[in-house]
Amino acid sequence: MSLPLHASCHLEVGAIGQGTALEWTGGGTRDTHCIQNLRLGLDLGMTVVDTAPIYENGHAEAVVGRALVDRRTEAFLATKFSPDASRRKDVIRSAEESLRRLQTDWIDLLQVHWPHPSVPLSESLEGMVELVEQGKVRHLGLGNCTAAQISEALQTPAGPHLLSVQQEYSLLDRSIESDVLPLCREHQLWLLGYSPLARGKIAPSDPRAEVLSEIAARHGASVAQVVLAWLCRDGSVLPIPRSGSENHLRENAAAAAIELSTEDIARIDSAYAMRMIPVATDDIVVPPGDRVYTTLAEARENRFGLVPGPVDLADKIAAGEMLKPIKVEVDRDDPHRRYRLLEGRVRYWAWVIAHEGNRPIPAVIEGREEC
């Protein structure tokens, strides 16, 4: 099964692609293993390869370049530019650096990784269109955008070159279903679903997973395959799972052929209905971590230089734009605060700054909801 050919797309692509972020460091045998897996993925029909300059500081792109060096025309190569390269000239410089690392003359799909809140999207798109005109890029994609930003981009000269939107989409994060996904369907844009396996967090211990296990057993498939088949259910989503395991790669590729019944889909939809509620920001603990701010003062200062930083994003949020809900789980260790932040370290602080801590933030609750 392959994704329906987009009117402007030069190549038919497999219905499931390959992600390349994370766990790519190490060099040596680790790189060799990644290269073998990427090439196996191509053999199995997972021809969309998604990477980005930010992944391992360009190392992921370099590894992808080595993997595709003699098989370039078999792949549909997608990369991105980072928010701090959103100015027109920086978009062009970033793509040229990607081309060098990827050892290729063209990028099939150049995507906005995250829009920079202080740089007009139209300026980034101008740079992207120039790259198309120069023959260095074939198609353009958006990523981590609101429905309003997608509509805006479609009205610019980049509109006819837009092929895709890359957003997080999994059974544990269905926030795009209300606006972005229908918009993509309406405009025949591919939805590249990132973190489709919820970063490996669809745990068998979650009671909801019983539905998946039962459906998987009936199809002689694994739970991960059922999840991917659910994402591919109507041909408008192209999931890009990442795997470092040969067995998992084979499973993921084969998932494209699994056809779930209408009843299977309805049962999964109902078991994994998204639990999103407004949560008072004071009821959320931000645990320390790599480049995470745990206090408002730290977030305002932005000493790690995050782009966009919480203050940048706060202006957009104050103007009514919110990309997607944060993710929290019940914090069982803290008797006073009820939730622990799992994802959205910048969005959380931006929301606190924008609303001066007085407005509850939309949050997806992961795991069991109540203590």
Q: Which residues bind ligand NAP (CB under 6 A)?
A: 19-22, 50, 113, 143-144, 166, 194-200, 222, 224, 240-245, 248, 251-252
- Write down the least CB distance from residue 332 to ligand NAP, Å: 24
- Write down the least CB distance from residue 88 to ligand NAP, Å: 21
Contacts of 333 (CB under 8 A, 6+ apart): none
- Write down the least CB distance from residue 362 to ligand NAP, Å: 19
CA 339/CA 213 separation, integer angstroms: 29
Nearer to ligand NAP, 114 or 351 (CB): 114
CA 294/CA 290 separation, integer angstroms: 11
- Write down the least CB distance from residue 116 to ligand NAP, Å: 14
Strands (E), the chain: 18-19, 48-50, 76-81, 107-112, 137-143, 162-168, 190-194, 237-239, 276-279, 284-285, 326-330, 339-343, 361-366
CA 316/CA 327 separation, integer angstroms: 20
Nearer to ligand NAP, 47 or 166 (CB): 166
Neighbours of 356 (CB within 10 A): 11
DSSP 232-283: TTTSSEEE----S-HHHHHHHHHHTT----HHHHHHHHHHT---EEEE-GGG
Indicate the SS3 state at residue 15. coil
Nearer to ligand NAP, 195 or 281 (CB): 195
Nearer to ligand NAP, 83 or 127 (CB): 83
Q: Of residues 55, 169, 194, 272, which has the active-site annotation?
A: 55
- Write down the least CB distance from residue 243 to ligand NAP, Å: 3
CA distances from 172 to 175, 201, 328, 347 (A): 9, 9, 12, 18
Is there a catalytic annotation at residue 293? Answer: no
Nearer to ligand NAP, 65 or 338 (CB): 65
Strand partners, 76: 48
Which residue's CB comes closest to ligand NAP?
Answer: 19
- Write down the least CB distance from residue 333 to ligand NAP, Å: 25
Q: What is the radius of gyration, based on Cα positions, of the chain?
A: 20
Strand partners, 192: 166, 238
Nearer to ligand NAP, 60 or 279 (CB): 60
CA distances from 356 to 59, 98, 153, 181, 201 (A): 40, 40, 31, 31, 33
List residues with catalytic annotation: 55
